[in-house]
Structure 1
Amino acid sequence: MSSLLNRSAKGQPQYTAPEQSGPSGDKSRSDADFPTAIRGLDNARTRIVGYRTGFLADLIVALVRFAVLARTTFSRYAKRITAVVTPVGWVVLVLVPVTLIVGYTIAWQELVVVGFALAAIALMAAIYLFGRSQLTISLHVGHHRVVVGELASGEVRGENEGKRRSLGVIAEIPVAATYAEAVLQSLRPGSSATHEFPIPTHRRGVITVGPVRTVRADPVGLVRRELVWTESAEVFVHPRTISIPSVSTGLIRDLEGNPTKDLANNDISFHALREYVRGDERRNIHWKTTARTGRYMVRQFEETRRSHLVIALSLATTDYSNDYEFEMAVSVAGSLGAQAIRDARTVTVVASEQTPQFAKRKIFAVRALSTLTGTRLLDDLTRVQRADTALRLIDVARVTSEQTSGVSVAFLICGSTVTSQQLRAASTKFATNVEVVAIVCDPEAVPGLRRVSGLSVLTIGYLEELKRALARSAGA
Structure 2
Amino acid sequence: MITRAGWGLAAASVLVYAVGAPLGYAQAAVLALTGVAAVGAGALWTLRGVRLEVRREVTPVKVARGEPAVAILHVRNTGRWRHAGLLARDVCRGTTVTVEVPALARHTARTVSYRLPTRRRGETPVGPLLLDRVDPFGLARRSVAYGRPDMLLVRPRTVVLAPLRSGRQRHLDGLTSRSAPSGASSFKGLREYVIGDDLRHVHWRSTARTGTLMVKELTDVNLPDTVTILDTRPSSYEGDDEFELAVDVAASAACAVTRDRFPVRVLTGMGELVHAKGGPGEDEEVLDRLALVEREAAAEPPLHALRRAGSGGALVLVSGTFAALPDAAAVRRRFDQVLFVRVGDPTDGGPPRAAGVNVIEVADLEELAAAWPG
- Decide which of 152, 166, 170 is 1:251's aligned counterpart: 166
Aligned to 1:295: none
**AA in 2 matched with 1:418:** F
**CA apart distance, 1:433:** 3.0
Change (3 A) 1:462 1:124: closer
State whether structure 2 residue 154 is matched by structure 1 residue 237. Answer: yes
Aligned to 1:195: 112
**AA in 2 matched with 1:181:** T
Change (3 A) 1:325 1:197: same
1:312, 1:396 within 8 Å by CA — same for their partners in 2? no
Distance in 1 between residues matched to 2:120 and 2:7, nearest whole Å: 41
Task: Indicate the percent of aligned positions where both proteins have the same amino acid.
Answer: 25
Cα-to-partner distance string for 1:436-455 (whole Å, 9 max, x where unaligned)? 43222354259999862333
**CA apart distance, 1:227:** 0.2
Report matched runs for 1:89-108 at 5 Å.
none
1:450, 1:456 within 8 Å by CA — same for their partners in 2? no
**CA apart distance, 1:121:** 5.9
Distance in 2 between residues matched to 1:348 and 1:162, nearest whole Å: 57
Distance in 2 between residues matched to 1:319 and 1:454, nearest whole Å: 23
In the alignment, structure 2 segments of 5+ residues that lack a partner are 11-23, 169-174, 190-204, 206-219
TM-score by length of 1: 0.54
Aligned to 1:165: 82
2:314, 2:335 within 8 Å by CA — same for their partners in 1? yes
State whether structure 2 residue 339 is matched by structure 1 residue 434. Answer: no
**AA in 1 matched with 2:335:** V
SS at match of 1:250: coil
Aligned to 1:362: none
- Please give the root-mean-square deviation of Cα atoms over the aligned residues, in Å: 4.7
Aligned to 2:214: none
Distance in 1 between residues matched to 2:106 and 2:371, nearest whole Å: 63
1:141, 1:155 within 8 Å by CA — same for their partners in 2? yes
Change (3 A) 1:397 1:252: farther
State whether structure 2 residue 287 is matched by structure 1 residue 378. Answer: yes
State whether structure 2 residue 356 is matched by structure 1 residue 454. Answer: yes
Aligned to 1:136: 53
Change (3 A) 1:258 1:460: farther
State whether structure 2 residue 268 is matched by structure 1 residue 351. Answer: yes
Distance in 1 between residues matched to 2:147 and 2:131, nearest whole Å: 11
Aligned to 2:213: none
State whether structure 2 residue 183 is matched by structure 1 residue 183. Answer: no
SS at match of 2:47: coil
Aligned to 1:338: 255
Distance in 2 between residues matched to 1:175 and 1:233, nearest whole Å: 10
- Decide which of 299, 302, 307 is 1:397's aligned counterpart: 302
Distance in 2 between residues matched to 1:351 and 1:459, nearest whole Å: 20
Report matched runs for 1:7-86 at 5 Å.
84=1
TM-score by length of 2: 0.66
Change (3 A) 1:191 1:86: closer
SS at match of 2:147: coil
| Total equivalences in the alignment | 326
In the alignment, structure 1 segments of 5+ residues that lack a partner are 1-83, 94-107, 260-265, 269-282, 284-302, 353-364
Aligned to 2:16: none
Distance in 1 between residues matched to 2:37 and 2:73, nearest whole Å: 36
Cα-to-partner distance string for 1:36-93 (whole Å, 9 max, x where unaligned)? xxxxxxxxxxxxxxxxxxxxxxxxxxxxxxxxxxxxxxxxxxxxxxxx4679999999
Change (3 A) 1:449 1:412: same
Change (3 A) 1:136 1:322: same
Q: Which structure has greater helix proportion? A: 1
**AA in 2 matched with 1:208:** P
Aligned to 1:311: 228
State whether structure 2 residue 373 is matched by structure 1 residue 471. Answer: yes
State whether structure 2 residue 328 is matched by structure 1 residue 411. Answer: no
Change (3 A) 1:414 1:258: farther
Cα-to-partner distance string for 1:250-278 (whole Å, 9 max, x where unaligned)? 1368655799xxxxxx869xxxxxxxxxx
Aligned to 2:271: 366
SS at match of 1:350: strand
Aligned to 1:73: none
Q: Which has the larger radius of gyration?
A: 1
